[in-house]
Structure 1
Amino acid sequence: MEMDNVTIGLALVAGLLSFISPCVLPLVPAYIGYMGGRLTHQVSRQQAAGAPPAISATMRLQMLMHGAAFVSGFTFVFVLIGLLTTALSSVAGQYVGAFTEILGRVGGIVIIFFGLQFMGLMPRLFRWLRSKDRAPILDSRLFSLCAAIAASALIYWALLGELVLTLPVIAALLLGMYMGGAFAQPARFWLALMDRLQGALYSDTRADIGGGREGLLGSAFMGMVFSAGWTPCIGPLLGTILTVAATAGATSGDITQGMLLLGAYSIGLGIPFLITAMLMDGARGLLRRLQRHMRLIELFSGCLMILIGLLVASGRLQSLSQTFSRGEFADFTFRVEECGLGIFEGDLHLQHLGDCLAGVLLPVAINQSASLHFTSEAQMRQLLFHAEAGEQIDVEARGLAGGELELAIALSAPDDTVLARANTADSRQVDDKLYPMLALELAQDGLYRLSLRAEGLTGDARIRVKVREALPIQAASNPPAQTNNLISDLSALVSEIGAIGLEEGKRAPAFSTTTLDGQQLSLADLRGKVTLLNFWGTWCGPCRREMPEFQRAYDEWTGRGFEILAIAYNDSEAAMSEFRDEFELSFPMALDETGAINDLYAIQTRPSSYLLGKDGVILARHFGVLTQAQLDDLLAAALADG
């Protein structure tokens, strides 16, 4: 998608469609768990306080406001992280990983505390400590010392063991305890602390009963925590938005457009959460009818909150996404956004939606390639593209298996008239890779359909098909002079300055890793080659789309000094090996087990790519799926001299 075509409305729609993405799904049970726990706690406290059973408009509005506060907190962190990893990567990009991990750990602790409160365990603990039999415990300096050690250890863990952060916080804690009398008058200190905690929790309960707004900050904080605890997959539009933010930040320093587009995308993503909040409010009456089972419901909701807190604090919330993000489901969720945007932009009609979602029909743009999967049960695929009268196009297919596959195609006009037919016998071979199959001039504006049938197929086959402007085959090897000059200027500039950073024109940060084949590989080993660093995951649906294009580019350009290193995170070597075999990938892959390389390159979204020159200079950054046309243009410019 062209950057100039991205609007706030389009970003809003893309966010709404991405709600069912495998990377978003882990947020749904976490959100329902939090809102459900709050609702259960609210109804229970209302009954204990003798509040009227009627459900007022104020109560409904309150639930909606908590959902809006959650979305606001989520949006704030989402936009902040998006800007820090793109437009502001040179300022604080390297700290984003630490920031999100700290927020996740601190937030996880808070969620666990809320879970204990919803279960009613915290009030019971306070009553137990206040009993006369336990008075010697609170009045013991040893108790205060043990509490100080435990709190310090928790702070050390939550702040990742970074002494520059940990020492001031622990010092402030100990000073506060000392000034409050924790070691001089322990019982008085701990009783006062419990009074303050109970007062704060009671205040939040009164807000729930009376419709106040004191608890909204808690919901906003939960949204911030959940936003930091997940990693979005980049669909076609989010990738464009992030690239817009990165480009604008690097060239003009203006982050306004990127901020507005990211905000619109996040708000669109938040709309289903608001709808969920309104639907959950209808459960209030059901909970009242289950009054005699309320204690059991409270225990269940509290346990769910504690489980969510543990997942967030341990950084394992994303592991839920991997359950949903394998194979066909990942492809389907990517198609939902792709097809929805196609309808919104007018490139797809409603009658095509079913075939588009089923993967039979795929909306593409001219000069955009598509990877099509054929099986013995699914031998027909269709591409839909918009063209104007007078445009000259041809069709090429790559990856035909040594002539064993008979591919027949038919091009239909907007009125469904068949304009041309061709098959493998009509094609001509260039360098064993390229098969131009038909070429013609289009006579009218509208949506054209290209139908492809794999005849006589007994197994599986993947073919890359591209409807392109009718140009000589060699044209792609002659890049625009302006692009060549720009890349040459970047390389010359860095050779003089030698600065290391994440912006275009700076040297890429050094690292070393072990590939999937067990070989040690460092960035220095790739000097002398144009290198594509791709950050991905087997659980990332959009990553599945671009990997076949990377293999095609690797086959075509590797002889001229091109290399690819695909770095996966939050994954396993077994899943990576299976993925590699499925797509027949031959370029190096590595697993970033600790996330150190991802942090070094400020990677928070996948797929993300860096193209490095032969001297290690960052020539280009791209967020989202890198298309064949984009990659070929970049490589033709980068390898023009070689």
Structure 2
Amino acid sequence: MVEWFQTQAAGGSLALAVPVAAVAGLVSFFSPCVIPLLPGYLSYATGLSGADLATGEAGRRRGRMLAGSVLFVLGFAVVFVLIGATVGGVGSWLREYRDEITVVMGALLIVLGLVFAGVFTRVLPGLQRDWRIHSIPSVGLGAAPLIGALFALGWSPCIGPTYSVIVGLTYTDATAGRGALLSAVYALGLGIPFVLAGVFYSRSLGAISWVRRRQQLVMLIGGAMLVVVGVLLVTGWWDWIVQWLQLQLVDGFEVAI
């Protein structure tokens, strides 16, 4: 595994894909699918009521907020990693069609990016419909990982545009390890802000309110990122950038084994 990671990183592939995966996760957190409902999910994961959160109890029970949010993130991270590993494993059987699959995934990313940015909202409003599990009991820390897993499964149609970046980048060098790693990075991009919001809940309310007032800008930036990655995949520029990075990372030194 270590040798594989070194080879991928030295080849420039992960050096380019990992930051994109992290940004995709961050965009997902700030999207309308997640951030408006953050207090509710913190309540589900920690067992504290909405009234407790509103009255400052979260600040007095920071340890519980940390434990609940971390367990919640671990729950959805496991789901994403399993999905990524499955996609990579299946993709490894389709290596002979790599170029065709990359172009198709790139074209899909362009469409999903435009959807995410709201370009088609007036024509096809159903494309941005909020799909999720609406009723989850507030049962506290013991069930926080399960609630996190339900979050990953229940929100899949909603956060699908951003997670599709991971699927597209997995197919550029399809292996189960690559899919799992990029999915884990995506989960960190989505999960770290969630944990910070839980630990510093009172302070985070102002930032959350600021982001919600600029939700459309967040969607436009996220959609633009998806479109750019899609164009790079369709045109073959992604491979060219990877090759350039390979020269920068490998030329002049030998990667330790």
Query: Partner residue of 1:260?
Result: 181
Contact between 1:15 and 1:266, CA under 8 Å: does it hold in 2? Answer: yes
Secondary structure of 1:26's counterpart equals coil
Query: Partner residue of 2:144?
Result: 219
Secondary structure of 1:6's counterpart equals helix
Query: Partner residue of 1:16?
Result: 26
Match of 1:222, as an amino acid? I
Once the two structures are TM-superposed, the CA of residue 61 in structure 1 deviates from its matched residue by 1.3
Deviations 1:354-406 (A, max 9, x none): xxxxxxxxxxxxxxxxxxxxxxxxxxxxxxxxxxxxxxxxxxxxxxxxxxxxx
Query: Partner residue of 1:630?
Result: 236
More helix, by proportion: 2
Match of 2:189, as an amino acid? G
Change (3 A) 1:28 1:330: closer
> For residues 87 and 282 of structure 1, what CA distance do their matches in structure 2 show?
42
> For residues 256 and 329 of structure 1, what CA distance do their matches in structure 2 show?
30
Query: Partner residue of 2:222?
Result: 333
Change (3 A) 1:29 1:6: same
> For residues 35 and 84 of structure 2, what CA distance do their matches in structure 1 show?
21
- Percent of aligned pairs with the same amino acid: 27
Contact between 1:68 and 1:274, CA under 8 Å: does it hold in 2? Answer: yes
Name the TM-score, length of structure 1 as normaliser: 0.23
Match of 1:40, as an amino acid? S
Once the two structures are TM-superposed, the CA of residue 14 in structure 1 deviates from its matched residue by 4.6
> For residues 257 and 30 of structure 1, what CA distance do their matches in structure 2 show?
31
Query: Partner residue of 1:27?
Result: 34
> For residues 17 and 77 of structure 2, what CA distance do their matches in structure 1 show?
18
Change (3 A) 1:16 1:229: same
Query: Partner residue of 1:39?
Result: 48
Once the two structures are TM-superposed, the CA of residue 19 in structure 1 deviates from its matched residue by 3.0
Deviations 1:430-457 (A, max 9, x none): xxxxxxxxxxxxxxxxxxxxxxxxxxxx
> For residues 234 and 43 of structure 1, what CA distance do their matches in structure 2 show?
34
Contact between 1:14 and 1:238, CA under 8 Å: does it hold in 2? Answer: no
> For residues 70 and 24 of structure 2, what CA distance do their matches in structure 1 show?
19
Once the two structures are TM-superposed, the CA of residue 63 in structure 1 deviates from its matched residue by 0.7
The alignment's C-alpha RMSD in Å is: 4.2
Match of 1:217, as an amino acid? G
> For residues 269 and 218 of structure 1, what CA distance do their matches in structure 2 show?
20
Once the two structures are TM-superposed, the CA of residue 90 in structure 1 deviates from its matched residue by 9.3
> For residues 227 and 80 of structure 1, what CA distance do their matches in structure 2 show?
11
More strand, by proportion: 1
Name the TM-score, length of structure 2 as normaliser: 0.51
5+ residue gaps, structure 2: 1-11, 94-130, 205-214, 240-257
5+ residue gaps, structure 1: 45-52, 92-103, 116-203, 205-214, 284-323, 339-541, 547-623, 634-642
How many residue pairs align between the two structures?
172
Query: Partner residue of 2:211?
Result: none
Q: How does 1:501-516 map to 2 (within 5 A)?
A: none
**Higher relative contact order structure (alpha carbons within 8 Å, sequence separation ≥ 6):** 2
Once the two structures are TM-superposed, the CA of residue 67 in structure 1 deviates from its matched residue by 0.7
Contact between 1:83 and 1:89, CA under 8 Å: does it hold in 2? Answer: no
Contact between 2:62 and 2:199, CA under 8 Å: does it hold in 1? Answer: yes
> For residues 18 and 231 of structure 2, what CA distance do their matches in structure 1 show?
22
Q: Larger C-alpha radius of gyration, 1 or 2?
A: 1
